[in-house]
Structure formats: C-alpha cells, structure tokens
Homo-oligomer: A and B are copies of this chain.
Amino acid sequence: MRAGIWLIGARGSVATTSVVGALALRAGLTDPVGCATAHPDMNSAALPGFGDLRFGGHDVTTGPLAKKAEQLAAAGVVPARLVQAVASELDEVDADLRHAPEGATQAETAALIARDITDFRTRHGLDRVVVVNVSSTEAAPPEHPAHGSLDALAAALAEPGEVLPPSSLYAYAAFTAGCPYVDFTPSTGARLPALAELADQQALPYGGHDGKTGETLLKSVLAPMFAMRNLAVRTWSGVNLLGGGDGANLVDPGANAAKSVSKQRVLHETLGYAPEGDTRIDYVADIGDFKTSWDLVTFAGFLGTGMCLQFTWQGCDSALAAPLVLDLARITLAAHEAGRSGPLEQLAYFFKDPMGDVDHALHAQWETLRTFVGELSAAGAPSGQAAEGGGGR
C-alpha cells in the first residue's frame, strides 16, 4: 500500500516529532520504541510500513519544519543527531505542507482543504491518505442546528459565518476527499451527526479522541487495579504542569475545560462511581514539553482503613504522542483498505476519551486492539498486497 498521513497542525510539536521519527525509522537510525504496532503481539502484514508513510499537512504558522525540529532537539524532545541526519528529508516534507486555506464561506474553505489533500495524494500516487488532527485544542463550539444532518450542514456551510469549528471543518473536508480522519485532540472533530452521516455515505472510518499519553494512561491501569482489589477509592486529584505550545493554548479556559473533562471519564467508568477530586492543567513555560503530573489517590481498605497512593509522571509529551500518531495512521489506513467504516471503537487504547461505550481498562483495550489488527490482517492483507504488487515491508 502506498500511503500518506495528512497532519492538521503539521508544524506543531507532536507533528514534527512524528515526522522526524518516521524519517529516522525509514533511515534505519532508530527503533520504534513506544509504538504499539511494533509490539510482537500487534505485528501485522496489513499495516503499511513505518517507513512507507508520506507526510503532508496544514498549519496556520509558517516557520520551516527543520527549524522546529532543531528547537525540539534543543529542548531534549528528539536527539539532535537524528534531526541532522534527516535534515534534507524534512525539507522534502516541508514542501508538502500547506498554509491553512481560507475561503469566503466555510464550504469554500473545506473545498480548498480537500483540494490540498487530493493534490498530495495524486502528486505522490498514494493509494490512500489518512488525515490526523494534531492541531491546537479548541474550546467546545456553540451548538448549531446544522450539526444535526448533512443536508442542513451543506446548506449552512455555503452561507457566510462559522458553522463548524476548525477540527470539524477539517473532518468534513477529509471525508469529502475520501480520507479517513483521526482526532488526536479533545476538539469536536467528527463528533457531529452530520459528519457521521457523511462518513457513512463515503464508507470511511474515523477515530478519536485525545491521545492518552500521561496521567490518564496511568489511570487506565491503576483504576482497574483498585477495582480488581475491591478497594474503595475516595479521592483522585491531580495537577498537570506543562509548557510548550499545547500548554500555552490550554491557558484558554475553554480548551482547558475540554481537556479536563476527557481526563476524568476513565475513573467513573472503570470504578463504577466517581471519586472526589479534579484534574487541573497549569501552564508553566519552563517545563516545556516535559509534562509533570502529580496525582493523589486516597482509598479505603478492609474495615475502612484509609490509605493513599501518590505518583509523579515526568514525561515528554510529544515523544509519547508521536509513536501513537504513527500507530493510528497505520491501523486506520489498514482499516480503510479492509473496508471498515464508521467510528473505530477498537482504537480506545489510544484515547483519553474514546468513542463508544467501551471498557476503559488499558488491558481490555489492548486485547480489543490486538483482535482488531488481527482481523484486518486476516481479511485485507493478502489481497491488498497482491493489488499493490508487493511493496510494504
């Protein structure tokens, strides 16, 4: 399969780390540490190779990708030697990035977005392209009647004014262009009835929401531990300190709220009750991409005896996110090829706020994902490979 990823927010930290990593993997300079799809249990011929992915994307900023990569190296997010080694390939990717277009109406903007994507697909002779949103988190948009059906939406987009938030407009354009769409952010994305209708019409799969890379990842194994031990969690309170572009954006109360909500779902759904406590996100420029989270869990054991667990997670957010972006692209591309469409609930392993009424325990999500990838492999791979005349790796 000749495949591509179109990144929304293509000049951001997560996007750039993903690109540097994929190029370094292609050059055989690094191992796919942190990639679920590189785990022996998840290995599948149905997935396009890490090194086979072409990158393009949209952003609203303009600084060169290589410069951003150097900044990430200076900050310790990626090794400087890798950035140097893939410098010319980075410039090639840069040539496939486009400034986010703006039409007179949102319908026009969507058409321009779609054209950028289809041009990219054609230019490189790709079988398929997945659109992955890694742009800044938006505040939740106001409700709008046109969100409810595709016809109403099409009509409303043709009028001046903002009907869809950017993430949803990108999803609309992706679907129009025949591309699956994955949202790595807590933004609205494809989560509107009108967009579900469009994906359905186009027989396209889509996934989301909000990559699970830190505190929530820990919750997805620790909350099941408390549940399996039948211990009564009373409080789960946390604070996340982070800098970087994502942190700066989350100073906005709307974006912050979107993020905090998706972080608490796992507790209620795993434990069967909601412990006291909140999750806070604070911006601290000096911390940069190395997020520091502290959580306090108080719980009662046998006979009501009170105890507690604390943890501090010091993780490099982009380095945790980038391999998941590659995983999501590989799997979604394979799912598309295998003829899957609609919401991919099987991707819950990747998300803080997964689609569907799914289990929030990481091990259950892992099993689901493994089974799904196995099915794709059984179904699609052989014929797919034949159709492509070999390839992959």
Binding site for B on A (CB under 8 A): 17, 20-21, 24, 30, 32-36, 38-39, 76-79, 82, 217-218, 220-222, 224-225, 227-232, 234-235, 237, 239, 241, 276-278, 280, 282, 284-287, 290, 292, 294, 296, 298, 300-305, 307-316, 319-320, 322-323, 349, 361-364, 366
Contacts and interface: CB of A to CB of B under 8 A. Distances in A.
A309 B311 CA distance: 7
Contact of A287 (B39, B235, B323): B235
A234 B290 CA distance: 14
Contacts of A36: 228-230
A20 B303 contact: yes
Contact of A79 (B284, B304, B319, B363): B304
Contacts of A284: 235, 237, 276-277, 298
Given A284-B277, A294-B239, A316 B307 contact: yes
Dominant SS among interface residues on chain A: mixed
A78 B303 contact: yes
Contacts of A221: 221-222, 224-225
Given A277-B284, A287-B235, A301 B34 contact: yes
A366 B315 CA distance: 29
B301 A320 contact: yes
Given A221-B225, A234-B286, A286-B234, A79 B303 contact: yes
Contact of A323 (B241, B301, B314): B301
11 contacts: A17-B302, A32-B230, A33-B303, A35-B230, A221-B224, A241-B296, A280-B282, A301-B316, A307-B316, A309-B311, A309-B313
B76 A76 contact: yes
B314 A307 contact: yes
Given A305-B319, A307-B316, A361-B363, A278 B287 contact: no
Nearest to A312: B310
A323 to B, nearest CB: 5
A343 to B, nearest CB: 22
